[in-house]
C-alpha cells in the first residue's frame, strides 16, 4: 500500500478527530458538553449493540480479567510510583481513557468487525467497573449502579444467557450506536486540546506509566492466554489507552480541578494516536 492509499484509508476516522480538535481549540466546543448525550443515550446503545457479538463466554471472562488487571495495576502504580521517582504525578495517570479511546475504536467496528468491537466493549465494562469501585471506595457500589452503561451491559448479558430473541432490541439501539461513531471521534479530537507541554517531565512519566502498564500487560496476556488473534489485537488496542481525567475515564461530571489532568491526558492521547498510526502503517 502506498502512503497516499494509507492516508486515504485513515481519512474517514481522522477527519472527525480533526474537526473536534479545531472546535475545542477555537473554544466552540467543550468536550464535557457532550457527556450527557454520550452517558445517557449513545454509549449504552453502543455497548448493547456490541456486547451481543460472537465472543464465547470463556473468552469474555479472560478479556475481562485482563481489563481488571490493567486497571488495577495502573491505578496503584500511579499511587506508588511518585514515592520512587520523587515527583508528583497527576491523578490522570491512574486512569484509562475509556471515553476518548476505547469507545471510539469500538464504535468504528460497527458493521464490520464484531469480534474486535465486542472485545473492546468487554474491556470497557470491566475497566470502568474496576475504576469506579477503586476511586470511590465504600461509596463505589452506589456510584456504579447509577451508571447507564451498566444496565446496557446487564441487558446484553441477560439476552446472551437466556438466549431470547434480540432483533427488536438491537434494531432500537442500532441508530443511536451508529450516531455514536462521529460523536465519539469528535470527542476524541477535543482531547488533543490544549496542546501539551512536551518539556513536562511529570507528564512524560505519566505517559510512560500508562504505556508500560497498559501495553505491557496486554502483550503479556496475548502471549500467555489462548485468545483468538482478533481478540488479541483488540486487547492490544485497549492497552494503548492514554491517561484520563475523571470525565474521560468514568463518563461522569467531576468537580475535580482538571487543567493539569487535561494536559497529561492530551500528551498521552497524542502519543497513543501516533503509536496506533505507526502500528497500522507497519501492519499494512
C-beta of residue 185 within 8 angstroms of C-beta of residue 29: no
109-139, pLDDT tens digit by residue?
886 788 899 999 999 999 999 999 988 888 8
Task: Report the distance separating Cα 84 and Cα 93, nearest Å.
Answer: 15
What pLDDT does residue 4 have?
47
Dihedral over Cα of 254, 255, 259, 260: its sign: negative
Give the residue, 204 or 281, on which the prediction is more confident: 204
Task: Report the distance separating Cα 29 and Cα 126, nearest Å.
Answer: 30
What pLDDT does residue 6 have?
46
Q: Alpha helices of 240-258 — where are they, by DSSP H?
A: 246-250
pLDDT class of 201 with cuts at 50, 70, 90:
confident
C-beta of residue 197 within 8 angstroms of C-beta of residue 203: yes
**Percent of the chain scoring above 90 in pLDDT:** 37
Give the residue, 199 or 21, on which the prediction is more confident: 21
Smallest Cα–Cα separation from 104: which of 218, 5, 213, 242?
Answer: 242
C-alpha cell at 35: 457527556
Smallest Cα–Cα separation from 245: which of 53, 41, 57, 30?
Answer: 30
Q: With a cut of 80, say whether residue 165 has pLDDT above it.
A: no
Highest mean pLDDT among 62-76, 99-113, 169-183, 263-277: 62-76
What pLDDT does residue 13 have?
72
Instruction: Report DSSP state, residue 98.
Output: I
C-alpha cell at 18: 480533526
Task: Report the distance separating Cα 97 and Cα 102, nearest Å.
Answer: 7
Task: Report the distance separating Cα 43 and Cα 253, nearest Å.
Answer: 15
Distances from the Cα of 54 to the Cαs of 132, 231, 233, 257, in angstroms?
27, 11, 16, 41
Q: With a cut of 50, say whether residue 3 has pLDDT above it.
A: no
pLDDT class of 163 with cuts at 50, 70, 90:
confident
pLDDT class of 283 with cuts at 50, 70, 90:
low
Give the mean pLDDT of 246-267.
Answer: 75
CB neighbour list of residue 199: distance below 8 Å, 6 or more residues apart: none
Q: CB count, 10 Å around CB of 236?
A: 17
Backbone Cα Rg of the chain: 18
* Mean pLDDT, the chain, integer: 85
What pLDDT does residue 284 have?
53
C-beta of residue 3 within 8 angstroms of C-beta of residue 219: no
C-alpha cell at 178: 451508529
Give the mean pLDDT of 242-260.
Answer: 74
C-alpha cell at 74: 495502573
What pLDDT does residue 215 have?
92
Amino acid at each position: 500500500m502506498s502512503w497516499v492509499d494509507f492516508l486515504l484509508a485513515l481519512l474517514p476516522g481522522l477527519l472527525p478527530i480533526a474537526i473536534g480538535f479545531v472546535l475545542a481549540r477555537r473554544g466552540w466546543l467543550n468536550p464535557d458538553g457532550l457527556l450527557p448525550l454520550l452517558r445517557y443515550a449513545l454509549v449504552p446503545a453502543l455497548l448493547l449493540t456490541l456486547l451481543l457479538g460472537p465472543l464465547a463466554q470463556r473468552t469474555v471472562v479472560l478479556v475481562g480479567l485482563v481489563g481488571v488487571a490493567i486497571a488495577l495495576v495502573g491505578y496503584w502504580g500511579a499511587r506508588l510510583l511518585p514515592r520512587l521517582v520523587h515527583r508528583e504525578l497527576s491523578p490522570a495517570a491512574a486512569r484509562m481513557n475509556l471515553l476518548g479511546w476505547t469507545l471510539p475504536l469500538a464504535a468504528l467496528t460497527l458493521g464490520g468487525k464484531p469480534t474486535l468491537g465486542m472485545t473492546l466493549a468487554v474491556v470497557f465494562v470491566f475497566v470502568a467497573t474496576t475504576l469506579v469501585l477503586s476511586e470511590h471506595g465504600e461509596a463505589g457500589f452506589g456510584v456504579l449502579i447509577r451508571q447507564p452503561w451498566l444496565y446496557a451491559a446487564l441487558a446484553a448479558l441477560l439476552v446472551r444467557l437466556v438466549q431470547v430473541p434480540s432483533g427488536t432490541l438491537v434494531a432500537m439501539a442500532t441508530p443511536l450506536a451508529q450516531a455514536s461513531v462521529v460523536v465519539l471521534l469528535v470527542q476524541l479530537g477535543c482531547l488533543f486540546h490544549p496542546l501539551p507541554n512536551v518539556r513536562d517531565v511529570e507528564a512524560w512519566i505519566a505517559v510512560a506509566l500508562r504505556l508500560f502498564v497498559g501495553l505491557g500487560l496486554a502483550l503479556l496476556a496475548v502471549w500467555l492466554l489462548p485468545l483468538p488473534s482478533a481478540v488479541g489485537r483488540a486487547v492490544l488496542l485497549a492497552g494503548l489507552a492514554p491517561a484520563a481525567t475523571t470525565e474521560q475515564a468514568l463518563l461522569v461530571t467531576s468537580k475535580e480541578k482538571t487543567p493539569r489532568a487535561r494536559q497529561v491526558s492530551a500528551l498521552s492521547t497524542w502519543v497513543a494516536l501516533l503509536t496506533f498510526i505507526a502500528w497500522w502503517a507497519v501492519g499494512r
